[in-house]
Structure 1
């Protein structure tokens, strides 16, 4: 009496859980219904799912779900995506017995090696379960994840199972089933590719959302060059340069470096320096800049020009002007001649060199 009562109680609990709420049916709930209906309609085999668990696993941990004496069935679809179903000897032998003897034997299954015939007899039930489950789920992404799978081959062991799975992450559905009206219990595990990365096509927020900043900037190219000095050389002098020659930076000022766009046009004037251990250029340096969370780590270290004198507070207020093409030309005319050796040392320090004099 204990076994039939347990079976009836499990069925009532399963039915009450299915009727709970108006939420869309998940893949796990759909598989529970599909196994029970497909086994009864296709093979006349009473089957009830009395336990179900879902997890997400990397491909290299799939072998931990099954044991060596289980039956491993490889599935595939037209897109080249691989899935698998694993059955323990109890579930596999019950499906084989109901097709050969017409009923499930109460004796425990004998230990034996699984064959291709076992896989061929189990495959129609698995294909029918996935087809019915795809009709039960309501999400379009879940429907796509269950559609199109067909039986491909039997896998000999767990190592071959891991090698046959081509995706990085798989959704694992572990089901405990009761077969033959309580005569036997078994374990069935399904490995389906994780489709969460594809997103839910039925999510209204995804449908109305427009392109984000990452999608827009991902196709743009932004390139800026910083020029600290311009000079003219006769062609004879240029062609006579060799390794080790030094060019004096005449009129260079690191506090008034030109920022050029990709087409070599001047966009702004800034000051060379360092920030967070990397070379940086500060634009509009007289404006107030909010301090970062870790100011000590990202402090901007500006480079001082030998000819530039500290400005008073009154000078800072009167020198702030909008950067226009006319203002840029005025800045260029104001460049003065400084100590070229000291400027070279400053630039070497900013570039990460030792800064030793040549």
Structure 2
């Protein structure tokens, strides 16, 4: 920096301190300021870095280029302009070239090569959008400008990159990188979100939410849980449940039409109770007859058939509460009627023996026409 400032602007400049740190991209903005001149640096293979100058350094370099001297007092705060960036470009390019040349023979010199002045960035938000690498080297440089006329600071941010591979010597074999690659991939963070549903609420209502508040979730949310990665990228459909005491999701892959309804009938989706246990419910057949409740008690005859899967609503069955108790109120079983034979006229009635004297029966009075009786079909 001293040689670049001297040769370009005939300006005395000295570096009084350097601090090197490594930051993740999302932490960079906390270490830098919007009140500085931010410049994007273009690097090799699409790599990008940033260099920034505080207002004191910027003022000193502008003053020496316009008046040949530096005013020995702190500069007033102001917003950097595109003109400021253009006047700093020669210093940036020359300094970066010398930096790379000085470290060319050093073991870590590869990560500073090939950078040059790019474009001015308006703020730190634009910097965050422009930078792509996950980790960055940050060099914070303290400057003495024009023999103490001003004190300033420069920050240089360059991405952490892998060391270029050196060509193999004759007879040297390529290392087995399979295990190294697998280990590196297993360390990568991968977050998958199971999204039950999305609820639209006014911002005022969201701000009033507190512990214990209940949000309405549709019953179908259990069956329509979506697995997402990144910014709402749909990975798969799933069903919420539990396994071995842990929350779990069952992936639904290429299910046919109607499969969701079948699972809904089998597993149920009552949000007020516990989630369904996938490990215990493997039979995807019709529900047990006992589950149909008391509406199916008694013998309703053969007209209903043996398949109850289509009985969605039993509310239209007649009221059978007036029927007498078939056991006569006692505990004895009904008599065996199998010996009575057929009543369709195709056979003779069995011998009933001597009937008892019915003279003691009370007088039943006058009967009307029997034709008024209802058919007993």
State the TM-score, normalizing by the size of structure 1: 0.47
Higher helix residue share: 1
Higher RCO (C-alpha under 8 Å, 6+ residues apart): 1
Higher Rg: 2
